[in-house]
Amino acid sequence: MDSFAEPRKPIDNSISLADVRAQVHKLEEDLRDKNIPVSGRIIQVCHYLPVTCAFARRPRPEEIPSPPATPPAKAADIPPSPTEPQPGDSSLPAPKDAALDKARPQWSLAVRYGHSAMVSGIDSLATTHEQIVIGWTGDIQASSPAEPPVASAVTSDPSGLPTSKVATSSLTDEDKKELESMLEEYRSRDEPENGKKIHYVPVWLDDKDAHGHYDGYCKQTLWPLFHYLLWQDVATEYASADAHWAPYAAVNAAFARRVAEVYRPGDLIWIHDYHLLLVPSLLRQALPDAAVGLFVHTPFPSSEVFRCLPRRKEILDGMLGANLICFQTYSYSRHFTSSCVRVCGYEVTSRGGIDVQGHVTAIGYCPVGVDADRVAKDTLRPGIQPKLDALRALYEGKKIIVGRDKLDVVKGVVQKLRAFEKLLQDYPQWIGNVVLIQVTSPALTDSPKLERQVSELVAHINGEYGSLDFIPVHHYHQTIKKDEFYALLSVADLGVITPLRDGMNTTSMEFVISQERTKKSPLILSEFMGISSTMTEALQINPWNMSEVAAAMHRGLTMSEEEKLRRHQQLYKTVTTHTSQTWAAMLAKKLLERLGSQNMARQTPFIPKGQLEQHYLKAKKRLFLFDYDGTLAPIVKVPSAAVPSKETLEALETLTADPKNVVYIISGRDGEFLEQHLGHIKNLGMSAEHGGFIREPGESTWRNFTESLDMSWMSEVLEIFKYYTERTTGSHIEVKKSSITWHYRSADPEWGLFQCHQCQDLLENNLARKRPIEVLVGKKNLEVRPLAVNKGEIVKRILYFNPDAEFIFCAGDDKTDEDMFRALLLFPQGTTSPTATARLDPPLSVTLLASSKEDADKFGPVDLAITPDAVFTTAVGHSSKRTLASWHVTTPEEVVEHMLHLVRVAGEQAPSSSSL
């Protein structure tokens, strides 16, 4: 995603839920027509299940105390009654209470509040899709005092759980299965009546890991960082950003295992929020063909803030296991892309995706909304109107400003109060005529310092500007009931929501819907909110600028009815169009589009070691064709540091020692580098500068393919490259004999990429049209070379002079190596018959080195001995990498490992063959 050139796309307000669902249905039908599996199921992976669980164990039979023994009866003259039960009579029925207790369920379920937008969006998808919601049970409450749970009996329990919680370790497998059965029958009140089934699947976590994950790494490290606070700003002075990494990784692994257990081919997987950022990568390893999406509900910070995180690479690599990552806004997606480029050095594709070893992750954004229909119904609750009338009577003759926030440092309550004080200072006419009703609900983690600061500021403003009959600020630190909440939003003359940093804020949307039936009052929003980009008709401010906020308050309070109505209508249209239901359907649509793209439709299989070994052993002559950088040696920042490992040298030396093998290194490096590091290996053939030069096995001289070509273009390209080098700090030019390359690996990654695109455009649209050259974009470089020279031509030459080869192994990792794979497409697509034959015409790389036209004419077509199943073209990188190769391995080390395996197998077979 080129941040220098790509503008933010405007949000489409004409979208409708019916249209999106129709598009989803069509995409699924198209995929089925292409034989791509589509199950019709969506797996939603959330930190919590939308259900709370309480547990009270049934007493086990062995735990029920036995009654005291009946004393022996004294002998009596009167015989016993035949109707009275006799001692020892085993036919007595069990007490009724015991039978009932055996049938009583141990678990009770209730709705979990919070994340209402996400949950309502997921519920709405049940109209069209079967769903599986996977999440942690949360702390399990003890629901009955009759039997104290195990955890509550020990105050020093290592999990640190409160005494009212049940330790997960105390639950038996039968207890867990009972809850899973109850969850299978559970239905949310918001599920569509005639919708498809939603299955709720719990993830069982160790209590210590669960709290180290959430209360530790999530809340003390990631959440502050994503809201532009560093961990030392919100924790103790001894805070460590790495202290809770182990439980974070363990919990993510547990979630990934649970998903893998329920996954079926064709399922769509959506992972939600920053609690589970490692799950995509873990799923990519376990389920390579799965369609995985990740939606980040929080803001994503600038790369300069994100790079402070010690585990920055692990987090980014974890996220990049997804096929698609979505954020709330374009700016968050841009920050993420920038972090991938700057922190990890990954490439950005032409469509804005992130390329990690050939696996391309698409990046997008899709704002979340609220369930507008449900909110509209809630505003009609009968209990609201009396409270609304009471508020109007209480504040009669005064304008009412309303704010409702969590008492959290990033919610900007302190800044809002100071801005209100500034309003009373700068516009004294409002003293006695306006009140601020600020409700602060308790945050997940208490902050006594912030609570004290807010209380002191409220007291200061009321003392400075209040009087016996006027209190300017009414602060309520409590969780208010739904009727009170909607009455407050409805009565307001101005809504003020000014967090310092926030992702989605439902209060702002609920305010707009509440105002539809009352005053159509304006809304002030912080520009640092994820939703501010869609709610453009709100008065947007910088919450740090007190004068600006005070002026916006004054403007909102004095706004004309016409302007209020115009702004409200636009905001209402946005809020009722971009709902939680539309958001959820859009996510399904985006992931289906990704599933249908070429990148995911063809997964390159991992090279089959057994098949490779079989063809290697039976072949009388074998060809090995290797790229160097990224294939035999890993890509490094300093090119000169890419030296071959001991294992690589061992594999090449052993392969070349076998007279049946013809081994070539076909690299973009110059001959001098190849000679320096590999020249000592006897019988190793080498091709340098992407096919510009060749040194045959056993020879010491290089042959130049460009001698007969017009190379005068190099001076013109050099001048262009010099121009961009002067303007791109950290870039440099590499001039070879047959090509010229501009490198920008050490430049600022985004600026370097932008300059690369500009330079490429100049070369392709001007020079390449007049000269016999081609322009290649490589990994952090731009190369220009003659049209007639490439790796594919060298492969054809080697094959032409070795037509009796019965086994070919060719490995490469980048775009220039696709020329080699293309040259080895010797048979029509789909040909698998072992009797199929191929013929090769004399390639340009053969005729170019002929001393005369007569010599060139001597070369004719040759018949090849190779069969389709004995050609092993192998791409190094992810299985989703777009390539012409038939197989893949993940890393250069795996290429070397496969070669060493072949020579060992051949070595083991040789003694047994000679003994026969």
Residue with more model confidence, 100 or 264 = 264
Question: Helix, strand, or coil here: 7?
Answer: coil
CATH number of 17-51+116-138+206-365, picked from 3.30.1490.100, 3.40.50.2000, 3.40.50.720, 3.40.640.10: 3.40.50.2000
- What are the tens digits of pLDDT across the range 712-770? 899 999 999 999 999 999 999 999 888 899 999 888 888 998 999 999 999 999 888 88
pLDDT of amino acid 231: 62
Residue 627 designated active-site? yes
- Please report the DSSP string for 652-705 in residue order: HHHHHHSTTEEEEEE-SS-HHHHHHHHTTSTTEEEEETTTTEEE-TT----EET
d(CA 505, CA 402): 15
Mean pLDDT of 839-868: 77
Question: What value does the mean pLDDT of the chain take?
Answer: 86
**Which strand (E) or helix (H) includes residue 354?**
strand 354-356
**Residue 446 pLDDT:** 62
Fold match flag (603-706+789-909 vs 712-786): no
For the residues 784-805, what does the mean pLDDT come to?
Answer: 89
Q: Return the higher-pLDDT residue of 790 and 521.
A: 521
Tokens for 605?
């299989």
Residue range 57-76: average pLDDT? 58
pLDDT tens track for 540-552 = 999 999 999 999 9
pLDDT at 66: 58
206, 273, 493, 627: which one is catalytic?
Answer: 627
**The pLDDT value given to residue 668:** 87
What are 678-721's pLDDT values in tens digits?
A: 999 989 999 998 888 899 998 889 988 887 778 889 999 999 99
Residue range 188-204, pLDDT digits in tens = 877 887 889 999 999 99
- pLDDT value, residue 262: 96
Say if residue 601's pLDDT is above 60.
no
Per-residue pLDDT of 414-450, as tens digits, reads 999 999 999 999 999 999 999 999 999 887 666 788 8
Q: How many residues does the chain have?
A: 916
Residue % of the chain over a pLDDT of 70? 87
Lookup: tokens for 262: 């329920």
Give the pLDDT of residue 855: 62
Q: What's the pLDDT at 82? A: 47
Tokens of 354: 């992130």
Query: Does 3.30.950.10 match the CATH number of domain 603-706+789-909?
Result: no
CATH topology of domain 372-575: Rossmann fold (3.40.50)
Query: What local confidence, expressed as pLDDT, does residue 857 receive?
Result: 66
Label residue 2 by pLDDT band (50, 70, 90).
very low
Residues 738-750 pLDDT 10s: 889 999 988 888 8
pLDDT of residue 503: 84
Q: What DSSP element (H or E) covers 295?
A: strand 291-295
Q: Is the pLDDT higher at 460 or at 530?
A: 460
Q: Whole-angstrom Cα distance, residue 679 to residue 687?
A: 12
Measure Cα distances from 901 to 90, 392, 609, 894, 897 in Å: 73, 83, 9, 10, 6
Domain ranges across the chain: 17-51+116-138+206-365, 372-575, 603-706+789-909, 712-786
Is the model's pLDDT at 243 over the cut of 90? no
Q: Roughly how many angstroms between the first and final C-alpha of the chain, as a whole number?
A: 63
pLDDT at 83 over 50: no
Q: What is the pLDDT of residues 363-398, one digit of tens each?
A: 999 999 999 999 999 999 999 999 999 999 999 999
Tell me the fold of 712-786: Hypothetical Protein Ta0175; Chain: A, domain 2 (3.90.1070)
Q: Read off the pLDDT of each residue in 71-100 and give the average, rounded to a whole number.
A: 48
Give the residue, 298 or 94, on which the prediction is more confident: 298
Question: 856: pLDDT confidence band, cut at 50, 70 and 90?
Answer: low
Q: Residue range 250-258: average pLDDT?
A: 97
Residue 14 CA: distances (Å) to CA of 333, 549, 577, 578: 23, 32, 8, 10
**β 268-272/740-743 pair status:** unpaired
pTM of the model as a whole: 0.79
The DSSP letter of residue 218 is: I
- Could you give the residue ranges of the DSSP H alpha helices within 220-354? 223-226, 231-234, 245-262, 279-286, 303-306, 312-319, 330-339
**pLDDT per position as a tens digit, 581-597:** 999 999 999 999 988 77
Q: Quote the pLDDT of residue 786.
A: 87
The letter for the amino acid at 341 is: V
**Is the per-residue pLDDT at 853 higher than 70?**
no
Share of the chain above pLDDT 90, in %: 56
DSSP 641: G
Give me the mean pLDDT over the 510-517 stretch: 94
Alpha carbons 385 and 399: distance in angstroms, whole number: 19
pLDDT exceeds cutoff 60 at 159: no
The answer to whether 219 touches 444, Cβ cutoff 8 Å, is yes
577: three-class secondary structure by DSSP: helix
